[in-house]
Structure 1
Amino acid sequence: MASTLLYEDLAGRLGAQIRRGLLRPGERLPSLRRLGRQERVSIATAVEAYLRLEREGLVEARERSGYFVRAQRVAVPAARLPRVQARAPQALRNPALLGVLDVLSREDLLPLHVTTPAPELLPGRAIAAATTHVLRRDPGVALAYGAPQGLPALREQIARRYLRCGVEVDPGEIVVTAGAMEAITLALRSVTRAGDVVLLETPTYYGILQAISALGLRAIEVPNRVGSGIDAAALRALLARHAVRAAVLVPNFNNPTGSLTGDDDKREIVAACGEHGVTVIEDDLYGELAYSGERPAPLRRYAGRTSVITCSSYSKTLAPGLRIGWALAGTHVDDLVRAKCFSSVATAGLPQRAITEYLVRHDFDRALRRLRRELATNAQRWRDAIRRGWPEGTRVSDPAGGTTLWLELAGGVDAQALFEAAVARGIGCLPGHLFSLRGDYRTHLRLGLGLAWSPPVEAALRELGRLAGRFARRRTPKEGHE
């Protein structure tokens, strides 16, 4: 009985510190031995206290890392999506996408729209050290042209990483690219022709929409549900009605919604596409960014080498500017290498060698743990700022990974108007209509979680909320209830 009271008392005191904010989300707690020494209790008592806090959702255990304060869920209504009506395949009809690059290239904005992690959240010094070591060791090779398929040593490292999530990859099927978007574009060029129909999620990343348009493809959209990901049943129904050549899908922490598609739905998606002869081009860019540290499986895990081409990069986890991505091309490897030769000849050699040097000599997992922790904390802080400073009725996604938040604005506010007002005040954000073929989601907004939390970020979120409130008040009662 005394032992029970002892661990309950310890858990209660630690829990109170967490709830009062004395222990912050993402903060590492003392090891079991250290906690035992500090509190003068046995390790068994310390274990029971942490287990109780874990059951209460206040802490989380991370493999080989210890216990951490868990980011608490803020009571903000979940963002919703309008019901998507089935439509015939069509070309891109969203003129607003043409102006996206103008906003992204501006340097005078506080970039709440950016999803790439800030430099201080990435292992910049280690990457710099790896680059310097490569140049000193063999500058001639590092600065020379390489093979179109990519550096063999880097392809070996990529293949080894996929083994950790249950995917066996032959390094000979990997094509190294200049980022994930080049990998997706090369895959599309290899398996489609102009006029073919491609299945996409809605909403989806605007870069995918731009690639579809540039290649002269038509598209049909399947819903991505906030919180639960791709609608597998709807996907199967669409494939039964339309002749689809390829599907470009983002099952792990979709951009913009942050949704994670469940394993059962992933199996169903792969099965349905296989039955209809549809090649899946999987954007797995955010797969390593699960806040829990439990990396979700890519679609490739449930399919053979013939039906899924998995694309990703190190842009969100290590070094955005080095532009190192890849495609697990499977049986399409020769086609992708040929397309690579025609587009950019080969990916730059120095960045490939620098990334390889880093992966061999440094602790990638440690860097990932820190990044995931910071992103999880950001998601909590962003959501809390929205709860406190935005109009009542604002809805926001609650992602379990990735680098985006998806908002539904209160009172039917037009996100384009809010976006323009924000840019005029030096704040970047992106309106929801950029993430669909026809400009849907006009009352939605996407924010990025990549910036380190700071007073300017907090002030910008507060100003966005103030602007959203001002636009909501301008709407008449009749308009607000339409």
Structure 2
Amino acid sequence: MLLYEQLATQLRTQITQGALRAGERLPSIRQLARSHDVSIATAVQACLQLEREGLAQARPRSGYFVRAAAPLPPEARPSRRRTPGNVSNPMLQDVLDMLARSDLLPLHSATPSPALLPQAALTASLSRCLRHAPTAALDYAPPQGHLALRRQIAQRYAQVGVTVSPDEIVITAGAMEAISIALRTLTQPGDVVLVEAPTYHGILQAVAALKLKVLEVPNLPDRGIDVARLEQLLQQNKVRAAVLVPNFNNPLGSLTDDAAKQALLKSCARHKTVVIEDDIYGELAWSGQRPSPLRRWDKHGSVITCGSFSKILAPGLRVGWMVGGDWTEALLRTKYFSTVGSASLPQLALADYLQRHDLQRHLRQLCRALADNAQRMHQAIAHNWPKSTRACTPQGGLSLWLQLPGVNTQRLFELALREGIGTSPGMLFSSRGDYGDCLRLSCGLPWNDKLDHALRQLGQLASHC
């Protein structure tokens, strides 16, 4: 047996016996070479062998990590809604009640734990703004938002090859206000809006509140938005706007590739459908390679991109934005007539933080933590949940989408609430309450004994639903 095979065998044994658990980092190449008295090349070959076997995975600038057992992916199910219709899912009314509870382990909330966010640095920025610019911090903000923050956002887009002017950015109270403003600007009651199936329940609630009709395009776990089906739907229906999440869709975590994004834009431009792009998870690529927003290929002014700092820095500051392009003036009017402007202090504090700190470094740490959490959760689900459980293996975002054939996840949701565990049943992510055997969990909580115990509890409850 060659030296690298001997080393690979030792590491494989540690993994199979549980000494090295899913999501844990393997010793560095230099540590392996030094502790086993082999060359760097031999240590590399051993890790590559484990990667070929599916036992380890490499992460850029981070090393090798133990890979969780890969679950079967959920079955791709086309939406049953083939014609435009109203949002008719009474369960959407229950979301607010669950969000108001502070006594739950929040596996239902697709936000990162405060422990994973730079709380001390943000607190310092808030304090600085109050000390050095109290008048600006406590006064009305310009309706479009503070220029310092809009410049920082434009610079973030420039780093991924997308040219954005600060003058076409409008600051909002989170991405949901941005999506709602875009819908109010573009549509009238009764208009048809294209959404993904499944999609985030907040999008469905916004559509319902504006009395719009929905048309659903499938989002597939392994490849994202079904662009061929999207083209068919646009040929058959007059669709005013499409609210799409191509980068790490919530709840699937799926990623639509660049070729499909470009084909999607061509279809929408051809049929005069404006795309409202929810890119709130785009910065959360677990590989560290941020996927491009649709805006990169927009040649017809048919994309309004919405983003937010809620998932990467501070959910409670409620700062999002729209990149409006040709629609900027109309979007700004809609916002002004409803909220005048967004709060000044959070904007100024975020601009201060972005000027003083390396956001990219924080994102690398956050994405590594999310990837680790997801792997450990997959491992716990594989060991403790019904053997038929299927799970997506996303490349980014904050969601794990599970399919439990034969299990009523609404019942599982109710039983979990009694145990102090929040979950999101699949019915929430459909305009008509489909996906009754699916469940979304958040991977935004740091791994600890409490989370491990909760996943074991959920597995036991699922076995009796």
**Which of the five TM-score ranges fits, normalised by the shorter chain?**
over 0.9
The answer on 1:179 being equivalent to 2:174 is: yes
Structural RMSD (CA): 2.3
Q: State how many pairs are aligned.
A: 465
2:62 to 49, 63, 67: 67
* Whole-angstrom CA distance in 2 between matches of 1:251 and 1:89: 21
* Distance apart, 1:54 and its partner CA: 5.4
Change (3 A) 1:73 1:419: same
* Distance apart, 1:48 and its partner CA: 5.6
1:7-406, aligned counterparts within 5 Å? Answer: 13=10, 17=14, 20-23=17-20, 62-63=59-60, 66-304=61-299, 306-406=301-401
Contact 1:392 1:410 in 2 (8 A): no
Change (3 A) 1:368 1:305: farther
Which residue identity is paired with 2:386? P
Segment of structure 1 superposing worse, 32-41 or 356-365? 32-41
The answer on 1:431 being equivalent to 2:428 is: no
Segment of structure 1 superposing worse, 41-50 or 209-218? 41-50
Secondary structure of the residue aligned to 2:248 is coil
* Distance apart, 1:71 and its partner CA: 4.9
Q: Which residue of 2 aligns with 1:466?
A: 460
Segment of structure 1 superposing worse, 274-283 or 291-300? 291-300
* Distance apart, 1:50 and its partner CA: 5.5
Contact 1:228 1:261 in 2 (8 A): yes
Q: Which residue of 1 aligns with 2:416?
A: 422
Change (3 A) 1:417 1:43: closer
Segment of structure 1 superposing worse, 204-213 or 94-103? 94-103
Secondary structure of the residue aligned to 2:354 is helix
* Distance apart, 1:24 and its partner CA: 5.3
Contact 2:58 2:65 in 1 (8 A): no
Contact 1:27 1:68 in 2 (8 A): no
**CA deviation profile, 1:208-256 (whole Å, cap 9, x unmatched):** 0000011111111011112211100000000000000000001111111
Change (3 A) 1:317 1:44: same
* Distance apart, 1:47 and its partner CA: 5.6
Relative to the length of structure 2, the TM-score reads 0.93
Secondary structure of the residue aligned to 1:82 is coil
Q: Which residue of 2 aligns with 1:457?
A: 451
Change (3 A) 1:427 1:28: closer
Change (3 A) 1:299 1:177: same
Q: Which residue of 2 aligns with 1:475?
A: none
Structure 1 residue ranges without an equivalent (≥5) = 472-482
Change (3 A) 1:423 1:32: closer
* Whole-angstrom CA distance in 2 between matches of 1:321 and 1:330: 28
* Whole-angstrom CA distance in 2 between matches of 1:285 and 1:358: 19
Change (3 A) 1:6 1:428: same
* Whole-angstrom CA distance in 2 between matches of 1:61 and 1:426: 36
* Whole-angstrom CA distance in 1 between matches of 2:405 and 2:2: 47
Change (3 A) 1:90 1:22: same
* Whole-angstrom CA distance in 2 between matches of 1:291 and 1:57: 18
* Whole-angstrom CA distance in 2 between matches of 1:407 and 1:77: 10
Contact 1:190 1:336 in 2 (8 A): yes
* Distance apart, 1:83 and its partner CA: 2.9
Which residue identity is paired with 2:137? A
* Whole-angstrom CA distance in 2 between matches of 1:164 and 1:110: 36
Which residue identity is paired with 1:461? L
* Distance apart, 1:130 and its partner CA: 1.6
Contact 1:309 1:329 in 2 (8 A): yes
Contact 1:196 1:244 in 2 (8 A): yes
Structure 2 residue ranges without an equivalent (≥5) = none
* Distance apart, 1:99 and its partner CA: 1.3
* Whole-angstrom CA distance in 2 between matches of 1:456 and 1:34: 32
Change (3 A) 1:58 1:462: closer
Contact 1:81 1:225 in 2 (8 A): yes
Change (3 A) 1:85 1:26: closer
Which residue identity is paired with 2:411? A
Q: Which residue of 1 aligns with 2:441?
A: 447
Secondary structure of the residue aligned to 2:347 is helix
* Distance apart, 1:392 and its partner CA: 1.9
* Whole-angstrom CA distance in 2 between matches of 1:362 and 1:140: 24
* Whole-angstrom CA distance in 2 between matches of 1:357 and 1:259: 33
**CA deviation profile, 1:292-346 (whole Å, cap 9, x unmatched):** 1111111111213611111110111111101111111111100111111112111
Q: Which residue of 2 aligns with 1:474?
A: none
* Whole-angstrom CA distance in 1 between matches of 2:403 and 2:45: 41
Change (3 A) 1:391 1:21: closer
* Distance apart, 1:164 and its partner CA: 2.2
Change (3 A) 1:50 1:240: same
Relative to the length of structure 1, the TM-score reads 0.90
Secondary structure of the residue aligned to 2:381 is helix
* Whole-angstrom CA distance in 2 between matches of 1:45 and 1:387: 32
Contact 1:253 1:402 in 2 (8 A): yes
Change (3 A) 1:410 1:85: closer
* Whole-angstrom CA distance in 2 between matches of 1:425 and 1:62: 36
